[in-house]
């Protein structure tokens, strides 16, 4: 994995989030990719489960999304990527400011496992 792979896929992920574009999001993941929305949440395995989660939470419950990719890093062995991010959106008529980090494993230029750690402040 290279840092450019992390940046490129995270920019694409951010566009998918802002546009609420499930097809674009799925293009970021391998077909058997795993998306874990938070460390204690159930992991969504494969594109069918990721699609179901994304459509329910991101597409139906969130609006006016603005994503900002911040710094990206690689582990010393180059097997794990890290991406800091910030997001603003509206959920249930409340403005949310989120910040977090994504931990990524990749196969080529696609995510095979993504785990998010984040915090939200209602503004």
DSSP 38: S
pLDDT confidence of residue 59: 83
pLDDT confidence of residue 92: 81
Give the Cα separation of 117 and 68 in Å (integer).
15
Would you place residue 57 in the very low, low, confident or very high pLDDT band (cuts 50, 70, 90)? confident
Please tell me the pTM assigned to this model. Answer: 0.92
Domain count, the chain: 1
93 has pLDDT over 90: no
CATH number reported for the structural domain that contains residue 61 in this entry = 3.10.450.50
pLDDT over 70 percentage in the chain: 100
pLDDT confidence of residue 60: 84
Residue 68: which domain range?
A: 3-122
Q: What is the mean pLDDT of the chain?
A: 94
Give the Cα separation of 111 and 47 in Å (integer).
12
């Amino acid at each position: 994995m290279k840092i450019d792979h992390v940046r490129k896929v995270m920019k694409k992920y951010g566009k998918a989030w802002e546009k609420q574009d499930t097809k674009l999001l799925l293009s970021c993941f391998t077909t058997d990719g795993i998306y874990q929305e938070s460390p204690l949440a159930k992991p969504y395995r494969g594109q069918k489960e990721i699609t179901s989660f994304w459509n329910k939470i991101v597409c139906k419950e969130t609006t006016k999304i603005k994503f900002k990719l911040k710094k990206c890093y690689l582990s010393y062995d180059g097997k794990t990527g890290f991406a800091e991010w910030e997001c603003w959106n509206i959920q249930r008529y409340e403005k949310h400011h989120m910040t977090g980090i994504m931990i990524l494993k990749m196969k080529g230029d696609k995510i095979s496992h993504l785990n998010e750690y984040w915090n939200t402040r209602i503004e």
